[in-house]
Amino acid sequence: MATYLLVHGSFAGGWIWSGVRDLLQDGGHQVRTPTLTGLGERAHEAERTTGLSTHVDDVTRVLRGLDDVILVGHSYGGMVISGVAEREPRRIRSLVYLDAFVPERGQSCFDILPWLREALAPGETDYLMPPPPPELLGVEEPRFTPMPLGTHTEPSAAGFPELPSVYVHCTGQPFFAEVAAALAVRMPVRTLDTGHLPMLTAPAATAALLAGLEPHAETPQRKEHRTP
């Protein structure tokens, strides 16, 4: 059986994985679903200085109590798992990017998807981005909380992943279609016929896909596609 560490995306918390977590645990797997600083039940911890490196620290601390981990990052969580993988590669079996950012070193979320800069403009404060409207994500979820702006402006300190990696593209919404297409020559790309939040809209399919991917992660062809 496998050990999964599931990292949520923007505006969410560890709660978002509850359906997927329960199904994986029913299959005998160990699952951890931490909530990142300043989000979910930790929303009161958000500060102007909260950024990507804060969240890499969060997940690194959890990972250091585990071994042979399948590290999954959804959406913004892809930025986080890339940073964690560069710090603690020996504890990780494979990476799964679930409709997620996959940064090169020095890239921020806004560098990868520039249209987000306007779409997620801060609200009443100048450092917290309010959750997007329900019609954008396809779900109405009252537990979403504002996101510290620094998470999307801070550049990644990690390079493209060297560990065995798989990208899962959610084809029901177009947010990461270009990212998935560009990555197809660098790592295996699988698809889910769901919107951007498959853990909410299709937890059984998401859990089954994650469990099925585990034996098949492949090493990305990094040396043939190295960015100068």
Res 124: pLDDT = 67
**Which pairing describes strands 189-192 and 165-170: parallel, antiparallel, or unpaired?**
parallel
Lowest-confidence pick of 35-44, 119-128, 158-167, 200-209: 119-128
pLDDT tens string 29-73: 999 999 999 999 999 999 999 999 999 999 999 999 999 999 999
**If you average pLDDT over residues 169-177, what whole number do you get?**
97
Is the model's pLDDT at 221 over the cut of 70?
A: no
- Catalytic residues, which ones? 75
* Cα first-last separation, the chain: 39
Residue 61 near residue 7, CB atoms below 8 Å: no
Residue 170 near residue 194, CB atoms below 8 Å: yes
Q: Tokens 């996959």 sit at which residue?
A: 102
What is the rounded CA–CA span in Å between residue 51 and residue 155? 9
Is the model's pLDDT at 156 over the cut of 70?
A: yes
Q: Tokens 């990690």 sit at which residue?
A: 158
| Residue % of the chain over a pLDDT of 90 | 85
What is the rounded CA–CA span in Å between residue 101 and residue 78? 5
Look up residue 103 and give its two tokens: 């940064």
**Which pairing describes strands 165-170 and 92-98: parallel, antiparallel, or unpaired?**
parallel
**If you average pLDDT over residues 203-215, what whole number do you get?**
89
Is the model's pLDDT at 173 over the cut of 80?
A: yes
Backbone angles phi, psi at 204, to 5 degrees: -65, -45
Is the model's pLDDT at 222 over the cut of 50?
A: no
Residue 171 near residue 193, CB atoms below 8 Å: yes
- What is the DSSP-derived secondary structure letter of residue 218? B
Q: Which architecture does CATH list for 3-225?
A: 3-Layer(aba) Sandwich (3.40)
Look up residue 224 and give its two tokens: 């043939």
Q: Which residues contact 182 (CB under 8 A, 6 or more apart)?
A: none
